[in-house]
């Protein structure tokens, strides 16, 4: 291979110069599940700002660190296994490393399996960045009998190396102390040390040394793995393995015989906490009383002229006695946002964060893999499914962890149709608590049936993947708090404007007579095919903006218990909310058009099937 070919292989572009600025920036780089976020909190004190990387939906966390009388910006780079991108997170990681070529790279390795991180470390070194290495989770390595010779590793790499345990704070002071010692590694010297050769003196001869540096700045994949294996073989030793309670729990929760019952227990506990806290304690026990007994009467008393258009739009029906029925922007809109959505989203994200940080979610993915493979998906598809129970928007983004366009299209479409968001679930708990379980079961059956059909009808492959299962860890309060703040505030910034806009638009449509006209035009279809009252057209219009608002509106329409059940199902599988629609549009017109076509077919078939089942059972 020519010198030019070597220079541009792997990365696809010339390697940037290490002196190109950003000297005051520290990049935390590492594989997923190596404890980067915990280290970030230790270094920055937990204060952080989070924003999407420009042009993407991938979050990047930034904070600040003062060390050696120098302020540094700290960037938590999205977890990546390689800087040759295979998904959105790795693409952002590669772009950040390229953009901040003059920054200090702190590469974080998992002490229990450093060979995986060494591959990524070598890619960072190819880019000639000043680098330091943190061997994190050293406490877990000791418990497993894994011994890392940091002196040997430091000698082979020619870089400062420290061991840390971010969960306990071990080694953090030493880590801060080595940052100013970060340096550019000589990959030729690394290979010479591994081979037992003595590297040539620095700078002699300069011409030859420059050629050697350029030659080694672009390794092939096989060369990286060979170097990583050789480094690991010389620095890692396996001692006496001490089996811990974490290991026992890890085995129990990943084995199908015991893991599946545990998974059902975990999900049941999750749902019990969700419904008890969000529905019973906060919404019914506090928010309903606050809004119905205080906010609504006060607003009705101070707003002038109950017969005016503005009163109808912003306060609602003057004869209504509760915030579900009044349906004004400042009454039902605020009640749904603060009284229903906020408690539901808060408890959902809290539970999900604890499961994520503890290491249980990957085990759940392993258990779900067998079932999801039957509809052409793999275990990690359970992650966007669970995220969708909080909000479909991040769930659509999370489908990027899937391998093929076919799998991503299937998952996005199934989420948009069959996975109710946390806000919608919260409203269901408030207005139809006795039917929530049956509604979810019906949606899951539809998910499985149409997932199987999509897998059979759509072209494309379903490749196998390996699921990385990290050891169990104790969730850190700082990590949980930071993620809760970021996720909850982000959701509210997106949800509240759409809720208020949804109420306003529906009220305007009522005033203009549009809802009445649609009800008359579509009444035969709704009554004869779906078996629901014609008045449900109004909530279906509202569902485009917020499905939780649509469910709230259904509670004000006189209908039988079965009609309420069928109407809620219809709202759930009907056109996605506008935020989800926009996310589908961002994925491309092809994805959006296909998803909308599939949605119309599913609504017609599944809605009619539910009506038929009701008639056969004698309840429709």
Write a three-state SS string for 128-158: CCEEEEEEECHHHHHHCCEEECHHHHHHHHC
Q: What is the mean pLDDT of residues 81-110?
A: 90
Is 297 part of a structural domain of the chain?
A: yes
Q: What is the mean pLDDT of residues 216-243?
A: 83
Query: How confident is the model at residue 197, as a pLDDT?
Result: 62
- Indicate if the pLDDT at residue 205 is higher than 60: no
Q: Where does a domain end: 205, 238, 271? A: 238
- Indicate if the pLDDT at residue 68 is higher than 70: no
Q: Are residues 122 and 267 in the same domain?
A: no
Phi, psi of 70, deg, nearest 5: -125, 130
Instruction: Name residue, tokens 């279906």.
Output: 540
Q: Within 10 A of 210 (CB to CB), how many other CB atoms are there?
A: 10
- Indicate if the pLDDT at residue 103 is higher than 90: yes
Q: Are residues 90 and 225 in the same domain?
A: yes
- Where residue 14 falls among pLDDT bands split at 50, 70, 90? very low
- Indicate if the pLDDT at residue 33 is higher than 60: yes
Query: How confident is the model at residue 592, as a pLDDT?
Result: 83
**Is residue 423 within a helix (H) or strand (E), and if so which, with residue range?**
helix 422-431
What percent of the chain clears pLDDT 70, i.e. is strictly above it?
87
Q: Are residues 173 and 277 in the same domain?
A: no
Is 245 part of a structural domain of the chain?
A: no
Q: What is the mean pLDDT of residues 451-480?
A: 80
- Indicate if the pLDDT at residue 170 is higher than 90: yes
Numbers of helices and strands, H then E, in the chain: 31, 9
Domain containing 103 — which CATH number? Answer: 3.40.50.300
Is 446 part of a structural domain of the chain?
A: yes
Residue 411: domain span: 256-617
Q: Are residues 609 and 462 in the same domain?
A: yes
Q: Are residues 471 and 561 in the same domain?
A: yes
Highest mean pLDDT among 19-23, 381-385, 429-433, 564-568: 564-568
Is 251 part of a structural domain of the chain?
A: no
* Length in residues, the chain: 620
Q: Are residues 198 and 316 in the same domain?
A: no
Query: How far is it between the farthest Cα atoms of the chain?
Result: 92
Calpha distance 226→214 (Å, rounded): 19
Pick the range with the lowest mean pLDDT from 201-215, 298-312, 561-575. 201-215
- Where residue 517 falls among pLDDT bands split at 50, 70, 90? confident
Q: Are residues 177 and 291 in the same domain?
A: no
Q: What is the mean pLDDT of residues 418-439?
A: 82
Q: Are residues 228 and 309 in the same domain?
A: no
If one compares 49 and 276, the residue with the highest pLDDT of the two is 276
Which residues, 6 or more positions from 485, have their beta carbon under 8 angstroms from its beta carbon? none
Q: Where does a domain end: 180, 205, 238? A: 238
Burial 230-263 (b: 16+ CB within 10 A, else e): bbbeebbeeeeeeeeebeebbeebbeeeebeebb
Query: How confident is the model at residue 534, as a pLDDT?
Result: 81
- Indicate if the pLDDT at residue 430 is higher than 80: no
Is 236 within 8 Å of 147 (Cβ atoms)?
A: yes
Highest mean pLDDT among 9-23, 74-88, 456-470: 74-88
- Indicate if the pLDDT at residue 226 is higher than 50: yes
Instruction: Name residue, tokens 């607003």.
Output: 299
Query: How confident is the model at residue 311, as a pLDDT?
Result: 93
Q: Are residues 272 and 419 in the same domain?
A: yes
- Where residue 516 falls among pLDDT bands split at 50, 70, 90? confident
Is 244 part of a structural domain of the chain?
A: no
Is 367 part of a structural domain of the chain?
A: yes
Q: Are residues 224 and 293 in the same domain?
A: no
Pick the range with the lowest mean pLDDT from 47-56, 125-134, 473-482. 47-56
Q: Are residues 348 and 225 in the same domain?
A: no
Is 247 part of a structural domain of the chain?
A: no
Query: How confident is the model at residue 506, as a pLDDT?
Result: 78
What percent of the chain clears pLDDT 90, i.e. is strictly above it?
25
- Indicate if the pLDDT at residue 354 is higher than 80: yes
Highest mean pLDDT among 19-28, 211-220, 588-597: 588-597
As a whole number, the mean pLDDT across the chain is 81
Q: Where does a domain end: 188, 211, 238? A: 238
If one compares 390 and 135, the residue with the highest pLDDT of the two is 135
If one compares 588 and 293, the residue with the highest pLDDT of the two is 293
Query: How confident is the model at residue 198, as a pLDDT?
Result: 57
Query: How confident is the model at residue 171, as a pLDDT?
Result: 93
- Indicate if the pLDDT at residue 216 is higher than 60: no
- Indicate if the pLDDT at residue 527 is higher than 50: yes
Is 557 within 8 Å of 572 (Cβ atoms)?
A: no
Q: Are residues 167 and 264 in the same domain?
A: no
Query: How confident is the model at residue 554, as a pLDDT?
Result: 85
Calpha distance 108→392 (Å, rounded): 32
Sort strands 49-52 and 59-67 into parallel, antiparallel or unpaired: antiparallel
Is 324 part of a structural domain of the chain?
A: yes
- Where residue 296 falls among pLDDT bands split at 50, 70, 90? very high
Model confidence over 365-419: pLDDT tens digits?
A: 888 887 888 888 888 888 788 878 877 776 787 787 777 788 889 999 999 899 9
Query: How confident is the model at residue 348, as a pLDDT?
Result: 76
Query: How confident is the model at residue 590, as a pLDDT?
Result: 81
* SS3 state of residue 123: helix
Instruction: Name residue, tokens 């030729």.
Output: 188
Q: How many domains does the chain have?
A: 2
Is 402 within 8 Å of 411 (Cβ atoms)?
A: yes
- Where residue 5 falls among pLDDT bands split at 50, 70, 90? very low
Between vectors from CA 269 to CA 268 and to CA 275, what angle results, nearest 5°?
Answer: 90
Highest mean pLDDT among 75-84, 499-508, 566-575: 75-84
- Where residue 75 falls among pLDDT bands split at 50, 70, 90? very high
């Amino acid at each position: 291979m020519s010198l030019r070919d070597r220079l541009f292989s792997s990365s696809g572009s010339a390697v940037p110069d290490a002196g190109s600025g950003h000297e005051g920036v520290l990049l935390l780089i590492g594989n997923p599940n190596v404890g980067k976020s915990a280290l970030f909190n230790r270094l920055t004190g937990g204060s952080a700002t989070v924003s999407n990387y420009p042009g993407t939906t991938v979050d990047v966390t930034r904070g600040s660190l003062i060390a050696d009388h120098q302020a540094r910006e700290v960037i938590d780079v999205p977890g990546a296994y390689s800087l040759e991108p295979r998904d959105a997170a790795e693409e952002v990681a590669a772009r950040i490393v390229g953009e901040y070529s003059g920054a200090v790279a702190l590469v974080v390795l998992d002490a229990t399996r450093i060979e995986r991180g060494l591959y990524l470390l070598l890619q960072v070194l190819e880019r000639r960045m000043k680098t330091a290495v943190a061997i994190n989770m050293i406490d877990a390595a000791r418990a497993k009998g894994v011994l890392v010779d940091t002196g040997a590793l430091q000698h082979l790499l020619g870089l400062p190396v420290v061991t840390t345990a971010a969960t306990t704070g071990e080694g953090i002071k030493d880590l801060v102390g080595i940052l100013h010692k970060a340096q550019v590694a000589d990959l030729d010297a690394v290979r010479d040390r591994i081979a037992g050769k003595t590297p040539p003196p620095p700078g002699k001869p300069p011409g030859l040394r420059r050629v050697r540096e350029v030659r080694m700045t672009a390794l092939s994949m096989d060369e990286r793995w060979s170097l990583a294996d050789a480094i690991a073989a010389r620095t890692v030793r396996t001692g006496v393995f001490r089996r811990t309670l974490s290991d026992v729990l890890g085995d129990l929760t990943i084995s199908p015989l015991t893991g599946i019952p545990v998974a059902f227990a975990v999900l049941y506990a999750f749902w019990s906490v969700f419904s008890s806290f969000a529905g019973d304690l906060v919404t019914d026990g506090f928010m309903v009383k606050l809004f119905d007994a205080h906010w609504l009467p006060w607003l009705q008393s101070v707003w002038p002229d109950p017969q005016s258009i503005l009163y109808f739009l912003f306060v609602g029906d003057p004869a209504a006695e509760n915030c579900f029925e009044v349906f004004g922007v400042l009454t039902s809109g605020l009640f749904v946002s603060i009284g229903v959505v906020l408690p539901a989203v808060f408890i959902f994200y809290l539970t999900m964060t604890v499961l994520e940080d503890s290491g249980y979610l990957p085990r759940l993915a392993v258990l779900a893999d067998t079932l999801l493979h039957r509809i052409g998906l793999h275990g990690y598809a359970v992650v966007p499914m669970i995220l969708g129970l909080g909000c479909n928007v991040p769930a659509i983004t999370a489908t990027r962890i899937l391998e093929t366009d076919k799998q991503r299209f299937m998952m996005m479409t199934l989420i948009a149709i069959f996975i109710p968001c946390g806000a919608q679930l919260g409203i269901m708990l408030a207005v139809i608590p006795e039917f929530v379980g049956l509604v979810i079961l019906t949606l899951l059956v539809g998910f499985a049936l149409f997932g199987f059909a999509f897998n059979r009808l759509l072209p494309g492959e379903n490749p196998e993947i390996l699921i990385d299962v990290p050891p169990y860890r104790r969730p850190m309060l700082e990590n949980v708090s930071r993620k809760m703040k970021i996720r909850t505030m982000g959701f509210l910034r997106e949800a509240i404007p759409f809720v208020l806009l949804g109420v306003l638009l529906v009220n305007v449509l009522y005033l203009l007579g549009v809802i009445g006209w649609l009800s008359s035009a579509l009444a035969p279809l709704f009554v004869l095919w779906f078996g629901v009252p014609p008045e449900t057209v109004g909530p279906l219009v509202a569902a485009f903006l917020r499905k939780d608002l649509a469910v709230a509106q259904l509670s004000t329409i006189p209908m039988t218990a079965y009609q309420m059940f069928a109407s809620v199902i219809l709202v759930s599988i009907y056109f996605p909310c506008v935020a989800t629609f926009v996310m589908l549009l961002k994925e491309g017109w092809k994805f959006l058009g296909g998803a909308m076509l599939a949605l119309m077919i599913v609504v017609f078939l599944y809605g009619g099937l539910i009506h038929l089942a009701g008639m056969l059972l004698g309840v429709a």
